[in-house]
Structure 1
Amino acid sequence: MVNTEDFSKRLIQMMDYYEISAALLAEKIEVQRSSISHILSGRNKPSLDFVLKILKTFPEVELYWLLNGIGKFPKHSKIIESAPTLFSTVEKDITVKEIPKRIISQEKIEGDIERIVIFYKDGTFKNYNS
Structure 2
Amino acid sequence: MSLREKIESLIIGLGLTSTRFADYIGVNRPIISHILSGRNKASLEIIQKIVSKFPELGFNWISDDEELDMDIVAQIVKNKDFNALFSSFYSSRESNENKSPDNDTEILNSQAFKNGNKTIQKIVVFYTDNTFSTFDPS
TM-score (norm 1): 0.51
Does structure 1 residue 7 correspond to structure 2 residue 3? yes
**Residues paired across the two proteins, number:** 80
Determine if the alignment matches structure 1 residue 34 to structure 2 residue 30: yes
Moved over 6 A (4+): none
Return the match for 1:18 from 14, 20, 24: 14
Report the aligned-residue RMSD: 3.1
Q: Secondary structure at the match of 1:44?
A: coil
* Aligned-pair CA distance for 1:36: 0.3
Gaps of 5+ in 1: 77-94, 102-130
Conserved 8 A contact 2:14-2:76:
no
Distance 1:16 1:30 in 2: 18
Identical aligned residues as a percent: 29
* CA radius of gyration, larger in: 1
**Structure 1 residue 72 displacement after superposition:** 5.2
Unaligned segments of structure 2, at least 5 residues: 81-138
- Report SS of the residue matched to 1:31: coil
Structure number with higher relative contact order (C-alpha < 8 Å, ≥ 6 residues apart): 2
**Could you say which structure has the higher strand fraction?**
1
Query: Retained in 1: the 8 A contact 2:34–2:40?
Result: yes
